[in-house]
Amino acid sequence: MSHAIITINAEGLSIGWLTENAVESVRRFDDPAQLDDALLRRLDQARQTVLVPTEDCLIRRLQLPLRNDKQIETAIPFALEDQLVGELEDEHIAFASRSGGTVDTVTVSHARMRDWRESLDRYALSPDVMMPLALALPHEEGLIHILIERGMAHVRLGDFAGFAVEAHDLVDWLSLAQKDGGDVGEDVPELALAGDDTDVTADLATRLVSAGWSVRDAQTQMSERRLVDFNLLQRTYKIDRQGGDAARGWRWLAVGVLLLGALEIGYMAWDNSRLQARSDDMADKIKAVYLAANPQATRIVNPRAQMKHLLASRGPNDDKGFLALLNDFADSFVQADGGEISRLSFNQGRLDMDVRVNDVSAVEKLKVGLDAGNVELTVLSLNSVERGIEAHIRLEEFTQ
């Protein structure tokens, strides 16, 4: 199956075809009428990956020792909230669980996601995957890949790390990041540079070399085998491609158009009801966490707002906070060969949870690992079960 790479920008979009070593036959479009029948048929039969502007995305890798996707989905907003510019309710957070408690996340505003979906609908495109442009660039040890696209520098920093800045600010940004010991370390890596504007790219390369960077021309920026396994099209933004050609109204007779219109109205009503139910469910979960963390509360009016206020009042560096204890637990849990978490609750600086591990020695390893830090682990109960040991444990900060 052929693989189409569709890049969205302010002027329209571009479509190219991904091979083993490059993206070829790239064409730019600023009007849906420019897509001819032959191209539309080829797109219908291809895998479609949409690349969106990196500057609109917050790319973060988290450590959350939770194996249940529902638990992860509930915990992620609290882990990211202090990094978000807008309100949590206005953000779409897509995630992918990896091994060892690693969770990769990309956050985009709902407004931007809707804009991209509307743009794709105008061009009658139904992609399989959507991801930030920076994550489509290659990742190699000792090499930072940079793509200049319409005045923006898209930078791939690591396995799941990337950002975008205006091209003329890139030299200053890299210098500051290196001095501050941030994402770019003291050992100067080589930069692989490519771009859509030869003059801009050449000028940037000259400035980078003058600043002490080693720069080489990137002959290849994307390839089939290097794409990250990540998709922004989750939950309400997931697209069903089963329709194929039938999804385009101009291929139907008038009666078909009317039928599709009626189905769309019905779907909108159903989707609105589903979204409301999902929102209510999330509010219930937030309310439960809020009451666990703040048991003296007697009246819950707006769970989201009250939880946000509670977190803000405790401050981002609260050593007794939920996330602080959870992060300390994550490191020791992985070193103790991991296991499974079936339940957790947080109350007055104490994090209670039920964990299932292979044997008693794993519990001892976990306790030793936490005791070496500033967290006290108390085993409240220990039971033998079919697949190992189930322990009810409590974590809290050491009290001298």
pLDDT band at residue 111 using 50, 70 and 90 as cut-offs: very high
Kindly report the backbone phi and psi dihedral angles of residue 339, in degrees, each rounded to the nearest multiple of 5, phi listed first: 160, -140
Average pLDDT over the chain reads: 79
SS3 91: strand
pLDDT given at position 3: 92
Put simply, whether the predicted model's pTM sits higher than 0.75 gets the answer: no
Q: What is the pLDDT of residues 59-100, one digit of tens each?
A: 999 998 887 888 888 899 888 888 887 788 899 999 998 888
Q: Burial level of 263, CB count in 10 A (0-12/13-18/19+)?
A: exposed
E-strand ranges in 10-117 read 12-18, 23-29, 47-52, 58-63, 91-97, 102-109
Q: 3-state class of 139 per DSSP?
A: coil
Could you tell me which residues come within 8 angstroms of residue 188 by beta carbon, excluding any fewer than 6 positions away? 178, 212, 213, 214
**C-alpha to C-alpha distance for 58 and 53, rounded to whole angstroms:** 11
Pairing assessment for the beta strands 152-158 and 102-109 based on DSSP bridges: unpaired
| DSSP 8-state secondary structure symbol assigned to residue 387 | T
| Residue 175 scores a pLDDT above 70 | yes
Instruction: Report the alpha-carbon distance of residue 275 to residue 269 in Å, rounded.
Output: 10
318 pLDDT more than 50: no
CA neighbor of 227 nearest in space, from 40, 47, 14, 94: 47
